[in-house]
């Protein structure tokens, strides 16, 4: 089978990636607390045959709350429980911190979701960063070495707990009265430097055995963790070269852990405002984000090496400014920002292109998103992408109706789900319990 693009949909706070999405015309401003809205968005992605939903999580309140909603879901597991009941095929990946959760809680929640969704659950195992998150647990953020030491132990304990209920242990034979084979449900008795558990867990296997492990990040410690355990990586990269280097780093780490590099899929992010033409797309973004532009313009000038006193939002950069501009090597977005500025757009329009957003941004017709993904995919920079639409209520549909058919026509994206589990969708090998290769 030829390699095809795998797509994930970012499901955040219920509104979309634009800070002003909550105020967009037609958007219910209470979507943040609406599980019906999350279900609708999940169903929209499933209509487009997306392989998975990705729910990041802090959890903490980091937002300009007077003007913008929090970034995260109310609760990622409860959201996915609701979505699981109203969808059939799409994978469900939630973030869960290895630093601020006990392995036993992670094990039972994710395996319960896996059963509820008939084998569609994935766990984005992250170590959490930021003192604001730590403070919510009455703690300081441990050192990177401690966080990752605990992460390695936590994933092993969780997977051991998942495997502690033997694959064939559940007999549930009403005629004989045998409920389960106790010999095949055994304690794990694991105790490490950071975490431990006696077990066993009281939950039988799902249709995919157990949830898939995902990681989000890109530090050297993250490479080793993901290389050992993850089947997918949620990444962030601004150029083909950067994405290819990241993908290679994860693949190399998987090889060092004794695995086949194809067992780990790398997904950089892509943000989208899909519209009939560039001007319409820019205006849609300006209407919702203009408030932030004075501050963003100052930052943009800084990474272009220009003086901030000279900001004129309604005008293009002058010839003198363009000549003097020096993209900062500290910010990987600066070269692309300068390229857009050189096209002669006003500073407002340059910012509306999303040149200093978290990921590359497509602002315009669907074909531009398809071309971007094809180029990255064929350059070995990605196995797929996680998509953050500007406004979920209509942005997911715009992607599904505009971009997906182009990718399908080009043979780059599946026509329909071939399997029924997240493991199937990702092409991840069967696994139950701990991977013996990870115990070395
Ligand atoms: C695309 C992307 C998504 C991320 N999502 C989350 C998230 O949802 N929750 C979280 O705690 N950290 C998230 N992270 C942060 C990483 O977990 C990690 O803390 C960071 O990338 C590297 O820092 P560290 O190695 O010092 O932890 C994400 C990182 C990236 C690149």
Same domain, 261 and 399: yes
Q: What's the Rg (C-alpha) of the chain? A: 23
Distance 312 CA to ligand 1 centre (A): 35
Query: Contact, 353 vs 282, CB < 8 A?
Result: yes
In this structure, the residue with its CA closest to atom 23 of ligand 1 is: 219
CB 126 less than 6 A from any atom of ligand 1: yes
Last residue of a domain, one of 317, 352, 387: 352
- Residue 331 annotated as binding site: no
Last residue of a domain, one of 310, 329, 352: 352
Same domain, 300 and 229: no
Residue 331's CB: how many other CB atoms inside 10 A?
16
pLDDT at 440: 67
pLDDT at 12: 93
- Cα 388 to its chain centre, rounded Å, is 9
Same domain, 343 and 370: no
CB 216 less than 6 A from any atom of ligand 1: yes
Preceding amide of 332 cis, omega within 30? no
Same domain, 10 and 85: yes
pLDDT at 1: 61
Same domain, 259 and 306: no
We report the CATH number of the domain holding residue 62 as: 3.20.20.30
Same domain, 104 and 186: yes
- 93: in domain: yes
CB 217 less than 6 A from any atom of ligand 1: yes
Same domain, 183 and 213: yes
Q: Probe ligand 1: pick from 61, 80, 217, 220, max atoms within 8 Å of CB?
A: 217
pLDDT at 142: 97
Token duo for residue 311: 């900001």
Measured on CA atoms in the order 416, 421, 423, 424, is the torsion positive or negative? Answer: negative
- 358: in domain: no
Distance 14 CA to ligand 1 centre (A): 20
Start-to-end Cα distance in the chain = 33
pLDDT at 62: 74
Distances (CA, A) of 146 to 100, 135, 196: 12, 17, 15
pLDDT at 414: 98
Please state the domain count of the chain.
2
- 357: in domain: no
Q: Mean pLDDT for each consecutive 10-residue tract of the chain (440 residues)? A: 93 95 97 98 98 94 87 96 98 98 98 98 96 96 97 98 98 98 98 98 98 95 97 97 98 97 98 98 96 95 90 95 95 96 97 97 98 98 98 98 98 98 98 88
Distance 340 CA to ligand 1 centre (A): 28
Same domain, 325 and 393: no
Distance 130 CA to ligand 1 centre (A): 10
Same domain, 183 and 269: yes
Token duo for residue 23: 């105020």
pTM of the complete model:
0.97
Last residue of a domain, one of 330, 352, 374: 352
Q: Please, which residues bridge with residue 196 across strands?
A: 191
Q: Which atom of ligand 1 is nearest to the CA of 147?
A: 27
Distance 373 CA to ligand 1 centre (A): 23
Residue 147's CB: how many other CB atoms inside 10 A?
20
User: What is the maximum alpha-carbon separation in the chain?
Assistant: 87
Contacts of 343 (CB under 8 A, 6+ apart): none
CB 218 less than 6 A from any atom of ligand 1: yes
- Residue 219 annotated as binding site: yes
pLDDT at 417: 98
Distances (CA, A) of 250 to 51, 271, 431: 21, 23, 20
Q: 226: closest CA among 274, 185, 267?
A: 267
Q: Probe ligand 1: pick from 11, 58, 129, 150, max atoms within 8 Å of CB?
A: 129
- 100: in domain: yes
Query: Contact, 12 vs 19, CB < 8 A?
Result: no
pLDDT at 437: 86
- Residue 272 annotated as binding site: no
pLDDT at 197: 98
CB 73 less than 6 A from any atom of ligand 1: no
Give the residue numbers spanning the domain of 142. Answer: 6-273+365-439
Same domain, 284 and 404: no
Same domain, 138 and 41: yes
Distances (CA, A) of 21 to 70, 82, 323: 12, 23, 36
């Amino acid at each position: 089978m030829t390699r095809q693009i795998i797509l994930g949909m970012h499901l955040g706070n219920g509104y979309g990636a634009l800070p002003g999405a909550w105020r967009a015309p037609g958007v219910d401003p209470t979507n943040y607390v609406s599980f019906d809205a999350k279900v609708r968005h999940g169903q929209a992605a499933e209509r487009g045959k997306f392989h998975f939903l990705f729910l990041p999580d802090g959890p903490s309140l980091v937002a300009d709350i007077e003007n913008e909603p929090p970034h995260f879901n109310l609760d990622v597991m409860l959201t996915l429980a609701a979505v699981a009941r109203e969808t059939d095929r799409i994978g469900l990946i939630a973030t869960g911190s290895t630093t601020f959760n006990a392995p036993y809680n992670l094990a039972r929640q994710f395996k319960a979701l896996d059963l509820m969704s008939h084998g569609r659950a994935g766990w984005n195992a992250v170590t959490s960063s930021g003192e604001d998150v730590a403070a919510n647990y009455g703690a300081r953020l441990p050192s990177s070495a401690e966080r990752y030491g605990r992460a390695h132990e936590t994933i092993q304990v969780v997977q051991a707990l998942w495997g502690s209920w033997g694959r064939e242990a559940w007999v549930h034979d009403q005629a004989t009265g045998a409920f389960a084979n106790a010999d095949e449900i055994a304690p794990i008795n694991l105790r490490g430097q950071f975490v431990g558990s006696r077990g066993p867990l009281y939950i039988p296997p799902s249709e995919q055995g157990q949830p898939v492990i995902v990681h989000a990040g890109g530090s050297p410690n993250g490479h080793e963790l993901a290389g050992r355990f993850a089947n997918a990586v949620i990444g962030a990269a601004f150029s083909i070269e950067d994405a290819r280097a990241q993908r290679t780093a994860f693949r190399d780490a998987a090889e060092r852990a004794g695995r086949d590099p194809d067992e780990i899929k790398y997904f950089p992010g892509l943000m989208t405002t899909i519209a009939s033409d560039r001007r319409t797309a820019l205006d849609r973004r300006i209407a919702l984000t203009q408030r932030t532009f004075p501050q963003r313009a100052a930052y943009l000038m800084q990474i272009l090496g220009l003086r901030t006193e000279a900001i004129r939002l309604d005008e293009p950069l002058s010839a003198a400014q363009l000549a003097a501009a020096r993209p900062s090597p500290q910010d990987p977005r600066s070269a692309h920002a300068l390229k857009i500025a050189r096209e002669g757009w006003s500073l407002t329009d340059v910012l509306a292109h999303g040149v200093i957003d978290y990921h590359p941004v497509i602002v315009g017709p669907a074909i531009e998103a398809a071309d971007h993904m094809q180029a990255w995919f064929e350059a070995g920079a990605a196995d797929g992408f996680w998509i953050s639409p500007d406004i979920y209520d209509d942005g997911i549909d715009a992607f599904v109706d505009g971009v997906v058919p182009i990718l399908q026509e080009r043979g780059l994206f599946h026509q329909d789900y071939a399997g029924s589990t997240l493991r199937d969708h990702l092409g991840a090998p069967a696994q139950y319990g701990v991977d013996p290769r990870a115990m070395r």
